[in-house]
């Protein structure tokens, strides 16, 4: 893995080189700019010669929108009898090339790796992974809502990133972490990082590394029934208004709905974001709803992240970005839920 030292001006120069070959996206810091985006809510293309500006902490919108876009066209079809497609369904042709997403934080990069577990056999998600290069910035500043280290991450980790930039006094230490990162850096003659710079990065990583947590491992090992019937769900279910904000902001939530839409005889099957917090999400065609009560939906969201997902795939389905904490209108905090669950496992 190559590591170079790069000045802010050189970074701006690199972005301009990338812009000639690829669309380069950055976080949209204001909501009006987000509305005018040509790609995904919360992101926009960086303008020519525009200096890079990043928000402190995680980007307002997560990167999942690039891998799990809304809507995703899964098939197209025609209802016209004489149409060449003959009423059959056709897979969408995706001729889009590589795209670069800049400003990704380590927690979001980790979320892409986590989402590859349930989406491993999903051709749409995996195609977006192949064509998307993530250029990330490690975190000098942690917000009060950030808790990546509690969930096994670190503000200085680069897992899931193609290029990782760490700010040091003289500029950025840029690590090339993948083949896509090598493609982005091809032909760039930059000064290799000095021993001192590498030592500084190593010290930052050591000082902020995630600590083993026997309590969280105990939660993974705990029998589901002890958690499922806990009294805490009653209070949480009463407080939650099931607005779905947490699930739409969360980089690791991936509930979706599939719909067909037809305009003038031409149709497409699309996949849209949905939320397990919405009552209709789990309603059966018969009218029966196994999660018809708020308590059941709230419990499902937390147990999915903290029990069902680890039971099936190993890790927790939460990277500690804190978005759901910051934007929940009734101040539900997943860290408090986690603490309560751990306390339950320790009883007896």
Name the residues that contact ligand SF4, by CB under 6 A.
240-246, 249-252, 277, 305, 318-324, 328-330, 332, 334
Return the number of the residue (112 or 270) whose C-beta is nearest ligand SF4: 112
CB of 218 to ligand SF4, least distance (A): 19
Nearest Cα residue to 26 out of 179, 134, 185, 125: 134
For 225-250, give one letter per residue: b (16+ CB within 10 A) or e.
eebeebebbeebbeebebebbbbbbb
Distance of CA 36 to CAs 32, 39, 41, 66, Å? Answer: 7, 9, 9, 16
Return the number of the residue (46 or 303) whose C-beta is nearest ligand SF4: 303
CA 38 – CA 59 distance, rounded (Å): 18
CB of 81 to ligand SF4, least distance (A): 46
CB of 42 to ligand SF4, least distance (A): 14
Return the number of the residue (222 or 295) whose C-beta is nearest ligand SF4: 295
Phi, psi of 162 (to 5 degrees): -95, -35
Q: Which two tokens stand for residue 253?
A: 């939530």
Return the number of the residue (17 or 243) whose C-beta is nearest ligand SF4: 243
CB of 294 to ligand SF4, least distance (A): 8
Return the number of the residue (181 or 244) whose C-beta is nearest ligand SF4: 244
Nearest Cα residue to 254 out of 297, 304, 216: 304
Return the number of the residue (138 or 317) whose C-beta is nearest ligand SF4: 317
CB of 33 to ligand SF4, least distance (A): 22
Phi, psi of 44 (to 5 degrees): -155, 165
CB of 68 to ligand SF4, least distance (A): 14
* Count of all residues that appear for the chain in the document: 348
Look at the alpha carbons of 288, 293, 296, 302 in this order and tell me if their dihedral is positive or negative. positive
């Amino acid at each position: 893995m190559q590591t170079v030292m790069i000045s802010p001006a050189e970074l701006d120069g690199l972005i301009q080189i990338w812009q000639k070959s690829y669309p380069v996206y950055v976080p949209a810091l204001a909501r009006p700019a987000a509305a005018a985006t040509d790609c995904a809510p919360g992101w926009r293309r960086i303008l020519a010669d525009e200096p890079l500006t990043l928000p402190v902490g995680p980007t307002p919108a997560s990167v999942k929108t690039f891998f799990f876009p809304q809507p995703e066209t899964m098939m197209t079809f025609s209802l016209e009898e004489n149409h060449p497609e003959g009423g059959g369904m056709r897979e969408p042709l995706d001729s889009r090339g590589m795209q670069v997403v800049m400003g990704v934080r380590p927690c979001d990069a980790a979320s892409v790796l986590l989402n590859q577990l349930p989406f491993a056999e999903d051709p749409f998600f995996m195609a977006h992974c192949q064509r998307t290069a993530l250029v990330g910035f490690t975190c000098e500043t942690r917000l009060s809502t950030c808790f990546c280290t509690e969930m096994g991450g670190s503000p200085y980790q680069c897992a899931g990133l193609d290029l990782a930039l760490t700010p040091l006094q003289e500029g950025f230490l840029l690590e090339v972490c993948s083949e896509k990162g090598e493609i982005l850096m091809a032909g760039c003659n930059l000064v290799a990082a000095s021993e001192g710079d590498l030592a500084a990065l190593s010290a930052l990583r050591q000082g902020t590394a995630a600590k083993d947590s026997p309590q969280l491992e105990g939660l993974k090992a705990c029998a589901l029934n002890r958690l499922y019937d806990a009294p805490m769900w009653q209070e949480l279910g009463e407080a939650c208004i099931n607005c779905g904000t947490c699930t739409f902001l969360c980089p690791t939530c991936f509930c979706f709905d599939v719909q067909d839409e037809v305009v003038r005889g031409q149709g497409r099957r699309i996949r849209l974001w949905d939320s397990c917090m919405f009552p209709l999400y789990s309603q059966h065609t018969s009218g029966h709803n196994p999660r018809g009560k708020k308590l059941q939906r709230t419990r499902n969201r937390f147990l999915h992240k903290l029990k069902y997902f680890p039971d099936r795939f190993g890790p927790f389905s939460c990277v500690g970005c804190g978005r759901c904490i910051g934007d929940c209108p009734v101040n539900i905090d997943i860290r408090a839920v986690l603490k309560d669950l751990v306390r339950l496992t320790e009883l007896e």
